[in-house]
Structure 1
């Protein structure tokens, strides 16, 4: 993604506003993050751990419980950090940070964990360069991210209404794989999970996206409020996709593990 596509300040502000509502609607986020947590190797002893894009601190706390170690939670959204600090035990530490410019010493971390955060980085290669820098030799970077095909139903329904960008764009899988291959790690693994959620009404999906802070953050989005006529047209277009279980919303989630070699500095 380019800087013209994602504005970090808007991302930080949007997720800060959503801090108080995020956990109420984050079932998918908890599921895919738990799947990533389950992919971590049991044979590696992690001593220094950081959760990048920690949000409300859900997985920061989960990491601390699993590995019985202090975990540093980092996020670009100050509102999320305040909420995480209030909801968490005193043994955890929190730091405002940009994944593309981590305020961490080189070769200082054994594990970097990041669940559904790096899709908001304008320059993913830069974030991975930073991860490589701060990992100790033998360290692991575990992250998941949304890829193209996510919210395809909503995108196609909007395309039937107007020419504006209403749905966040996500990186095509081949592009992600190319970035992973060029990131300099000794080895990497990438698997894609497809999750299809169902909603009784379109408004449930759009309200959920707003509560998550993950509504449209791309350039090319329409300014001002969306008129009732366009919303009616969107609803009509989306209803053509209705299934017996409701209106589908697809999420394509890439689960990634990156390993820094013991001989890499």
Structure 2
């Protein structure tokens, strides 16, 4: 009984409301989607918003390069959580005929631009409430927005549902090692000053979970890889200011309303002491990026051979490679 009361005390407000009505939610509600929308609106309305595009612009370029690797012309595509168009500004009309942009922030959506000749439509839409027609899209893309989705399995399932057979889903999101320096510095500072810790950094998806989530949604022929970008900042405070300018500040329901000046100064000193490199000014910040590609099953996709049709055992694979032979192997 004590454990149940404790879980209710720490549960987000929407979770408490659902439980009070006798409804068991299908997923954990962690992020305040309305707060995230307001954060994006404030960032987009800033006069120097383009100053903070450096990270998302680079990731958008790298993700667009993965789209070009697929030698196919996509008739209908959708960019889910497009932000300020970090993907659309790299998508060529020769690759995608028509691109639909969606985002929760109307101001960011308005600022999104495309390349010459690219036909685009813009819809204010939450990533958790997609309603594209079934089997209507050849391609769904998303860059650095899905890590704020509460029901990621449900989102993946809706994306698969709206894809045509043999359609492809290509996306990127922040991984679990993102901002580990900032996270640990704030935790150590609060533990020292307050005797406890608060969740100042939102939780991120681990790379080991992405494959299982995509498989659960029904995607096949998965490709998952990670990349780490380490960016230097003069101090911890410039990093936090840039995160706010990117609209990547905390949006969890259980985030603390205030962070004291004393804790901030202590965290900055800890950050400098633990992570600043010798003979270098400034501090590093790590961003782990997870890229993945998943295909909706289709009749023209390559299929594995039936079990038992192999001619040799996998234990002899080394010998086959040495001889340069190509033989079907047992599964």
TM (norm. structure 2) is 0.74
Where 2:265 maps in the other structure, the secondary structure is: helix
Q: Which residue of 1 is the match for residue 165 of structure 2?
A: 137
Where 1:181 maps in the other structure, the secondary structure is: helix
**Distance in 2 between the 1:64 and 1:101 partners?**
27
**Distance in 2 between the 1:90 and 1:17 partners?**
28
Assess if the C-alpha contact under 8 Å between 1:56 and 1:80 holds in 2.
Answer: yes
Q: Deviations over 1:56-102 (max 9, x none)?
A: 12322322445252311101222212333799999421001122321
Assess if the C-alpha contact under 8 Å between 1:199 and 1:205 holds in 2.
Answer: yes
**Aligned counterpart for 2:253 among listed residues 219, 223, 239:** 219
**Distance in 1 between the 2:254 and 2:96 partners?**
45
Distance 1:131 1:245, change over 3 A: farther
**Distance in 1 between the 2:52 and 2:246 partners?**
7
- How many residues get paired? 262
Q: Which residue of 1 is the match for residue 222 of structure 2?
A: 188
**Distance in 1 between the 2:177 and 2:94 partners?**
32
In the TM superposition, residue 180 of structure 1 has moved relative to its aligned partner by 1.9
TM (norm. structure 1) is 0.91
Does structure 1 residue 84 correspond to structure 2 residue 120? Answer: no
Q: Which residue of 1 is the match for residue 30 of structure 2?
A: 5
Q: Which residue of 2 is the match for residue 259 of structure 1?
A: 295
**Aligned counterpart for 2:208 among listed residues 165, 169, 174:** 174
Query: Where does the alignment leave 5 or more consecutive residues of structure 1 unmatched?
Result: none
Q: Which residue of 2 is the match for residue 45 of structure 1?
A: 73
Q: Which residue of 1 is the match for residue 13 of structure 2?
A: none
| Comparing 112-121 and 73-82, the one that deviates more | 73-82
In the TM superposition, residue 3 of structure 1 has moved relative to its aligned partner by 4.3
Assess if the C-alpha contact under 8 Å between 1:99 and 1:127 holds in 2.
Answer: yes
Assess if the C-alpha contact under 8 Å between 1:19 and 1:55 holds in 2.
Answer: no
Assess if the C-alpha contact under 8 Å between 2:90 and 2:115 holds in 1.
Answer: no
Does structure 1 residue 23 correspond to structure 2 residue 50? Answer: yes
Assess if the C-alpha contact under 8 Å between 2:73 and 2:94 holds in 1.
Answer: no
Does structure 1 residue 94 correspond to structure 2 residue 122? Answer: yes
Query: Where does the alignment leave 5 or more consecutive residues of structure 2 unmatched?
Result: 1-26, 191-196, 301-331
Assess if the C-alpha contact under 8 Å between 1:5 and 1:218 holds in 2.
Answer: yes
Q: Which residue of 2 is the match for residue 237 of structure 1?
A: 270
In the TM superposition, residue 103 of structure 1 has moved relative to its aligned partner by 2.5
Where 1:70 maps in the other structure, the secondary structure is: strand
Does structure 1 residue 111 correspond to structure 2 residue 136? Answer: no
Q: Which residue of 1 is the match for residue 39 of structure 2?
A: 14
**Distance in 2 between the 1:227 and 1:203 partners?**
13
In the TM superposition, residue 111 of structure 1 has moved relative to its aligned partner by 0.8
Where 1:194 maps in the other structure, the secondary structure is: strand
Where 1:61 maps in the other structure, the secondary structure is: helix
Where 1:18 maps in the other structure, the secondary structure is: helix
Distance 1:177 1:42, change over 3 A: closer
**Distance in 1 between the 2:93 and 2:167 partners?**
19
The structure having more radius of gyration, on CA atoms, is: 2
